[in-house]
Chains A and B, each alone.
Chain A
């Protein structure tokens, strides 16, 4: 049936031609330069660049903060999605629309707003200061910026799955004598599990590349609060193109691996739904 349509509808050549040409010129060729440029480095030089202590420290900062932020988002994202899908309360629609704010708000705006909130005399910072908690210009500040950026990914991935969840299954569990908590851990949680994992991976993938919202709050101290994207910019500004490219290649490979994982997760989830 699908093959017949190929004969009837026009525009296959044109649309595929536009798609492939545009994608190649705009996306693939530019991205390929990272691989081509890294190949100009000898193996040793490449290895020394990407294992330099300052670079390794920046991986640790970026990956650590991204992991913590994505984990926090997973817990609270599930809670927010659950509350939005299951409960009715005044202002629910506005809250639902607000969840997308981090997608819509330019990252630089988020960056300066969060920094101003968490500096020692800021609205939140002044209450944390007496407790000895420093947020701005520390690792914690980076994490908070990444929580802001990643939240909608988890909520928006989990929400449709919770929406589709058949209440009948929960009723069955309840009528068979399951406690509410058991129904949740044994019935609801396994169903939303794949979506939750996808949301985590999406938030994590976004976090490791994030720049705009983090640079203002991070303080950018080498070895301590320097994130990988900032290190790449620093190298570019010093005309160390080879160094910047090598570090970028490591990040790109990590991002592509994550993209692949996310696609596999979504594919697995779709198969589950189909069955």
Chain B
């Protein structure tokens, strides 16, 4: 056998194995085709109809539906609720991830399960529990009435329900990430004389920034888009206790379809931004992981 033939055989050998473990092109393209048709039906068509319905009455009507005072106040309330719920859950998520990933203690697995609880609860029940606590017939109902404080059918209740629903998002992202990273780097920093906060901000935070950002994005998307829980505790008063998702519902039920879809299209754009950021973060995470696995390449890239 000539050298060339040996080389050719060596080059074709892996491909023969791949053929044994892969499908024929016909099967492959059929499977891809079925998957894409399914995804187009389930995911793409709903997106397409949001935008075609939103612009069904033309651009001026679209613009009118968005800048109408009730829509603007719904947008403001949505931002307000998210700006309270997300930072609260950020503090909680970081604290939970720190104690779970850096220390050993009894009941840790139970704690992790309890953090996940809100994910298992129906949004409707998530709203209902706050009605049971703070509603007119709730446990604290009389007390609140005496002091003229309204929580249910008002903004505080909507903030509480949203915070409950979105509580696990950041903790869920950080716990596995920080468990995997271990605590050697932090221990080194402490031994070298850094304070606890210095260690957190200079060592831990740079290591978890992408995961943290990912959790924040998901938490924010849910906080702004939550419907069921907020619907139960909202008074459904236009201009006062209406968030964007609730505004979509009101317009739809009034048969103002174009306006309803116009507001919905804004929320859809928010979903696009969320997906884009998420993809970016995943890409960064993968790059960081590759660099950790191959430090030489990083050095070379930095030198260049």
- Chain A: residues with CB nearer than 8 A to chain B? 2-3, 5-6, 8-12, 14-16, 18-20, 22-23, 26-31, 33-34, 37, 76, 79-80, 82-84, 86-87, 89, 93, 95, 97-110, 112-114, 116-117, 122-124, 147-148, 151, 167, 170-171, 174-175, 180, 183, 205, 208-212, 216, 228-230, 232-233, 236, 239, 241, 244-245, 248, 251-252, 255-256, 258-259, 263
Q: How far is the CA of A208 from the CA of B200 in the complex (A)?
A: 40
The interface size of chain B toward A, counting residues with CB under 8 Å, comes to: 100
A105/B32 contact (C-beta < 8 A), A9-B102, A97-B279, A236-B128 known: no
Given A22-B91, A23-B92: 5 more A-B contacts, CB < 8 Å:
A106-B245, A109-B271, A113-B47, A229-B125, A255-B122
State in angstroms the CA–CA spacing of A98 and B276 once bound together.
10
CB distance from A81 to the nearest CB of B (A): 9
Please list the 4 inter-chain residue pairs (A to B) with the smallest Cβ-Cβ separation, ordered nearest first. Answer: A209-B122, A106-B225, A174-B20, A212-B227
A19, A31, A79, A87 — most chain B CB neighbours (10 Å): A19
Q: Which of A16, A37, A104 contacts B99 (CB 8 A)?
A: A16
- A4 to chain B: closest residue by CB: B187
A241 touching B137, Cβ below 8 Å: yes
For A3, A26, A183, the residue with the greatest tally of chain B CB atoms inside 10 Å of its CB is A26
CB <8 Å contact, A101 and B47: yes
State A83–B22 Cα separation when bound (angstroms). 12
Instruction: Assess the A5–B187 pair: CB atoms within 8 A.
Output: yes
Q: Does B264 reach chain A (CB closer than 8 Å)?
A: yes
Using A28-B114, A174-B17, A211-B122 as known contacts, say yes or no to A108 and B248 having CB atoms under 8 A apart. yes
* B36: interface (CB < 8 Å): yes
User: What B residues does A6 contact at CB under 8 A?
Assistant: 103-104
Does B113 have its Cβ within 8 Å of any Cβ on chain A? yes
- In the complex, chain B residues whose CB is within 8 Å of the CB of A34: 125, 128-129, 132
Residue of B nearest to A86 (CB): B22
Query: What's the nearest-Cβ distance from chain B to residue A229, in Å?
Result: 4
Q: Mark B34-55, 1 if CB is under 8 A from A, else 0.
A: 1110110111111101100100
Contact partners of A14 in chain B: CB under 8 A: 95
A33-B133 contact, Cβ under 8 Å, with A18-B95, A106-B245: yes
Measured between beta carbons, the chain B residues less than 8 angstroms from A106 are 224-227, 244-245, 248, 264, 267, 270-271
CB of B210 within 8 Å of the partner chain: no
Given the complex of chains A and B, what is the CA–CA distance between A143 and B232 in angstroms? 23
The answer, yes or no, to whether B139 is at the interface (CB within 8 Å) is yes
Q: Collect the chain A residues with CB atoms within 8 Å of residue B139's CB.
A: 33
| Chain B residues near A236 (CB-CB < 8 A) | 128, 131, 232
CA distance A28 to B218 in the complex (A): 23
A-B contacts, 28 listed (Cβ < 8 Å): A5-B103, A5-B187, A11-B196, A12-B105, A18-B95, A19-B99, A33-B129, A33-B139, A83-B35, A95-B39, A98-B43, A100-B275, A104-B274, A105-B268, A106-B225, A108-B227, A108-B248, A109-B225, A109-B248, A113-B49, A113-B264, A148-B43, A151-B42, A183-B21, A211-B228, A211-B231, A230-B124, A263-B113
